[in-house]
Structure 1
Amino acid sequence: MTSDCLLIIFAKAPVAGYAKTRLAARLGPDGAARLAARMLEHTLEAARAAALGPIELCCAPDTGHPQFALAHQRHAVHLSDQGEGDLGQRMARASARGLERHRSVILIGTDAPGLDAGVLRQAGASLRTHDVVAAPASDGGYVLIGLSVPAPGLFADVAWSTDAVMAQTRARADTLGLRLLELATLHDVDEPADLVHLPSGWLP
């Protein structure tokens, strides 16, 4: 095991009709896909700037999209498949795999423009003294979760894509006896109403 932190980015291929589908009502399928590509690139840049350790881009439906290949070339990230199962099962597998080789792992998506290098560095530092770190989302979910110990139970039987996710995760951490640190709440961009949280110039 090395002493670094593995940062795992969960990302959907920025394909029209597949990525950011709830935003298509406002942006159209192509516009939603272009925004997904912009958000992926922002996330990769933040991950590189945080300099926590290696970066893994965990891809859906697979690693074949050209932007994933470009990320591998431009940002020196390792590409992996998310695989089968619900979000919790996929995150549990990725975190367990990462903890076999690294001191800690941080899992993020690509939906939160405010998730910058500073937040990532704060999360990495927190995992030196805590078992779990999370950055809640304003919609009741979370935009980041990190672990320094294996905790597959943290991802089981969670009502994903609801406003109960963070509350359930908080309760589960308590039940499992895990030391949890919560960072500041951030906004993610999933619904048309969330577009107000995008930085200027990001809309396609």
Structure 2
Amino acid sequence: MKTRIVLFAKMPVPGAVKTRLIPVLGPEGAARLARRLLATALREAVASGLPVELCGDPDARLWGPTSLGLTLSAQGDGDLGARLTRAAERTIARGEAVLLVGADCPALDAARLKAAAAALDRYDAVIHPAEDGGYALLGLRRTDPSLFDRIPWSSPEVGPETCARIGALGWSLNVRDTLRDVDEPGDLAMLPRPLLPAVEH
């Protein structure tokens, strides 16, 4: 079964992205960091050799030209759960498994992406938990609306609740290593050196 990476991202516009970092970096600095993180995420996704779809808010087809050979799509309306549901359902309906990822986790490199895709040959779902209680990656070879409905997004319950719902569906789950997102000022200290110029001001 072929696996597709669907990378969720907001267009890196000052004031609209990385808002929890604006008190430290300012709107422009936060947007620069978001652009660096997105570029890193896309580079690693492409390097994995898997098909890659950039699912943007707004529609990634409106962002401008890209030379990476990506599929571009729109997240659409609704909360994050509704957006993830649509992306998962349309990918799986095409006969592909899906890796749902964001652009906030530099540790989610090509090797981890390939390993997560390989795990979907043996499991119904795969997850890379995040240190903040969410997840950096959710991989699925089947889907169900209950996975994303009424999840308390941006809370420490996201990952545990998602795992519990996968268990309630009777699906097999591969839990991989816990990674760290870059969302809060305290996360900046763990940024890889190539990303550090984006946070200098």
Say yes or no: does 1:35 pair with 2:33: yes
For the 8 Å contact 2:61–2:72, the answer to whether it is kept is no
How has the CA–CA distance of structure 1 residues 102 and 197 changed in structure 2, closer, same or farther, with 3 Å as cutoff? farther
Deviation at 1:24? 0.8
Residue 69 of structure 1 and its aligned partner are, at CA, apart by: 2.8
Counterpart amino acid of residue 128 in structure 1: D
The alignment status of 1:84 with 2:77, answered yes or no, reads: yes
Q: CA deviation at 1:135?
A: 0.3
Name the amino acid aligned to 2:55: C
The answer for the alignment partner of 1:140 in structure 2 is: 133
- Aligned partner (choices 49, 67, 71) of residue 74 of structure 1: 67
**Aligned residues: CA RMSD:** 1.2
Identity %: 46
Match of 1:24 among 22, 25, 28: 22
Structure-2 separation of matches of 1:177 and 1:196: 39
> What corresponds to 1:195 in structure 2?
188
Whole-angstrom distance in 1 between the partners of 2:177 and 2:78: 29
2:6 to 2, 5, 8: 8
1:170 equivalent in alignment to 2:163: yes
* 1:5 and 1:102 in contact (8 A); partners too: no
Task: Identify which of 160, 166, 179 aligns with 2:172.
Answer: 179
**The residue matched to 1:75 in structure 2 has which SS?**
coil
C-alpha contact (below 8 Å) 1:136/1:183 kept by paired residues: yes
Structure 1 CA distance for aligned equivalents of residues 124 and 144 of structure 2: 9
State the secondary structure of the residue aligned to 2:193. coil
Q: 1:21 to 1:79 in 2, by over 3 A?
A: same
SS in 2 for 1:162: coil
Unpaired runs of at least 5, structure 1: none
Cα distance in 1 for partners of 2:55, 2:21 equals 22
Paired residue type of 1:9: L
2:103 is the counterpart of 1:110: yes
1:74 is paired with a residue whose SS is coil
TM-score of the pair, normalised by structure 1: 0.93
CA distance in 2 between partners of 1:63 and 1:187 (Å):
25
Q: Is the 8 A contact 2:6 2:100 kept in 1?
A: yes
Q: Which runs of 4+ in 1 moved over 4 A?
A: none
How many residue pairs get matched?
197
C-alpha separation in 1, matches of 2:21 and 2:194? 17
Offset of 1:64 from its aligned partner?
5.6
Whether the 8 Å contact between 1:6 and 1:102 is mirrored in structure 2 is: no
Shift of 1:150: 2.1
Amino acid corresponding to residue 126 of structure 1 in structure 2: A
Q: Is the 8 Å Cα contact of residues 61 and 74 (structure 2) preserved in structure 1?
A: no
1:80 CA displacement = 0.6
- TM-score, structure 2 length as denominator? 0.94
